[in-house]
Structure 1
Amino acid sequence: MSGGYGQYNPYGDQGGYGQNPYGQANTMEQGNGSYEMNQMGQQQPADPTALLNKCREINDGIADLRAKREGQLAAAQNGLLDANTAKEDQVAHQGLDLIEDEVNNGFRYLRDLLKKVKQTPGSGDSRVQTQLDVTSRNLRREIEHYQRSQSDFKKRLREQVRRRYEIANPEATPEELDQGVDNVLMGQEQTFQVYGARTGQAHDARQAALERSTAIRKIEQDMMELGRLYQEVAELVHQQEPAVEQINQDSENVAGNVADANNQITHAIDSARRARKWKWYALLIVILIIAIVVGVAVGVTQANQSTKQA
């Protein structure tokens, strides 16, 4: 059971999605961010097609996590539930821890990748924004499915802890049983004492209860972190809205300025047309005046010539 859990790499064969995304998750959270999306975080707006491809890769990663949850995680959970000896419990618990860590790191990696796409210039493109919203919902939905799966598994583990505690303490009253289970689940393992005949079965029951209580506490811690991660993913969508609204407002302002400019151009054309029309009127008047002056001059000249001839 333990041979395959630690070697599983869900993204290692995805052809460029990331050779070791789980190992990069913590590095990105520290602000290093030395992975493929760095090239898109420059000042120049990225090609919308490249951003859409990144969204597709995130969705592929979500599908990988879903397959892991439904396959390897479910198998590991059943392995711990079905374990009957202390050795089986230990091996199953180790395998389950590896699977849960890979899933949790996968969620962190996809969260960081989605955030990087959101912060890339050009992500305000309507096509990119629509796909980002869809991708964000897909990621949150898978987180919800994982949380539900872990919650159901936690309930089954608690039931087993109670049964194991009862086996190890057959003489305990119902009140002592409830209190003992609560103490074990809170990590107070020293309260789990094996009374009566210290049989191998009782010791196995004690070990099984301790293994399951440890698994329950880890699930509770993971659920708290996933709750914060879910909220961060949800807030990414809202963080984009002011920028989109500003873009829309800027577009409206540009449209208004263009309309004003068009009106001014129209007025200028009308004014130019009126000016040209008055120029023609003035030119006609000048031509008429010149014609009159020339006519008068010609008439006077002809009259003078007639007088001389007479």
Structure 2
Amino acid sequence: MSNVHTGPQGQSSNGGVGDGAPTLFDQVNTIQDSIATLNANVQQIGDLQKRSLTSTDETYNQHNAARLDDLVNQTRDLTNDIKARVKALESQAPLPGEDTRIRKNQISLVRKKFLEALQNYQKVEYDYREKYKQRVKRQFEIVKPDATQEEIEAVVNDTQAGSQIFAQALSSSTRYGESRAAYREVQDRHNDLQKIERTLGELAQLFNDLSEMVNLQDDNIKEIDTAAQRVEGDMLEGTRQQDKAIDSARRARRMRWICFWITVILLIIVAIIVAVVVTQVVKK
């Protein structure tokens, strides 16, 4: 049995617990490792699904189905874990001195890789569903070769009417043994169809969640940029005010010196005038 991957759940040890909070690049690298694990899981899921469509050994199919269920469940946990970590990364405030544009680009990159992995998983499930329906169609045509398109669609889509149509066709078939085996296989595989639909529904919800996260992050980045611009504007205004205050202080100091020297000159002039007047009075 192939190893089943669940991906790293913690943060990278580089810049991690021992050295304080992990850096943006540490967290991005850890998420990318988990995405690589997700892609490996999806590859294994596709391989197991192909085997389930081609094998006629009932014992092997049961074993294969158990492995497939286990892998799908672990992959579900892994995708939810990656989504939570991407969301946590986007909600974190930038570290002091961190370039918000670089941060946005890194988060966008890891989100893009996650979306690509989910799209690949979705494609694998869609392909399996279509191949599964084709197999059910062939099995039904064994029981009822003259089946109409409406009857085939009802059986393939597992409607209540489809089950009745299949049962009625089985009762009137001239190939009872082969028809009975086909009917039993189709009944068993309808459970697989329900699991496929569940997985596709979960993937669709993940796409919606990531879309909402993109919108939220864009709003946060705008707020951060606005705040940064406001701080920069305040700093420039503060610098202008400081320059004005320094200039005003210099002008006031220059004016005080001018007034001082004017006063000195006036005192000298007054002293000279007084000296001249006193001298003239003494001479008389």
TM-score tier after normalising by the smaller chain length: 0.7 to 0.9
- Given the alignment of the two structures, is residue 98 of structure 1 paired with residue 70 of structure 2, yes or no? yes
Partners in 1 of 2:62 and 2:71 — Cα distance?
A: 15
- Given the alignment of the two structures, is residue 198 of structure 1 paired with residue 170 of structure 2, yes or no? no
Q: Secondary structure at the match of 1:174?
A: coil
Contact 1:85 1:204 in 2 (8 A): no
Q: 1:65 aligns with which of 38, 44, 69?
A: 38
Choose 240-249 or 82-91, whichever is displaced more. 82-91
Deviation readout 1:180-202 (Å, 9 max, x if unpaired): 56235326485343343432x43
CA positional deviation for 1:178 = 4.9
Deviation readout 1:91-150 (Å, 9 max, x if unpaired): 332222222222222211111111111222327833222111111111111111111111
Partners in 1 of 2:72 and 2:159 — Cα distance?
A: 20
Q: TM-score, normalised by structure 2?
A: 0.82
Partners in 1 of 2:5 and 2:224 — Cα distance?
A: 41
- Given the alignment of the two structures, is residue 252 of structure 1 paired with residue 212 of structure 2, yes or no? no
By relative contact order (CA 8 Å, sep 6+), the higher-ranking structure is 1
Give 2:248's aligned amino acid: S
Partners in 1 of 2:200 and 2:36 — Cα distance?
A: 20
Partners in 1 of 2:59 and 2:185 — Cα distance?
A: 9
Partners in 2 of 1:211 and 1:131 — Cα distance?
A: 46
CA positional deviation for 1:272 = 2.5
Contact 2:4 2:41 in 1 (8 A): no
Residue in 2 that maps onto 1:129: 104
Contact 1:161 1:181 in 2 (8 A): no
How many pairs were matched up?
Answer: 268
CA positional deviation for 1:160 = 0.8
How do 1:200-279 residues align onto structure 2 when only pairs under 5 Å count? 201-279=178-256
Residue in 2 that maps onto 1:28: none
CA positional deviation for 1:54 = 1.2
Give 1:246's aligned amino acid: E
How do 1:1-310 residues align onto structure 2 when only pairs under 5 Å count? 4=1, 8-11=4-7, 17-18=8-9, 50-70=23-43, 72-122=44-94, 125-167=100-142, 169=143, 171-175=144-148, 178-179=150-151, 182-183=154-155, 185-186=157-158, 188=160, 190-191=163-164, 192-193=166-167, 194-195=170-171, 196-199=174-177, 201-300=178-277, 302-303=279-280
Contact 2:35 2:117 in 1 (8 A): yes
Give 1:141's aligned amino acid: E
Partners in 2 of 1:173 and 1:88 — Cα distance?
A: 32
Contact 1:58 1:135 in 2 (8 A): yes
Deviation readout 1:42-96 (Å, 9 max, x if unpaired): xxxx96x6232111111111111112222x1122012101111333333332222
Partners in 1 of 2:91 and 2:230 — Cα distance?
A: 24
Percent identity over the alignment?
20
Q: Secondary structure at the match of 1:84?
A: coil
Give 1:10's aligned amino acid: T
Partners in 2 of 1:181 and 1:107 — Cα distance?
A: 32
Unaligned runs of 5+ in 1: 12-16, 19-34, 38-45
Give 2:176's aligned amino acid: R
Q: 1:217–1:74: structure 2 CA closer, same or farther, 3 Å change rule?
A: same
Partners in 1 of 2:183 and 2:150 — Cα distance?
A: 15
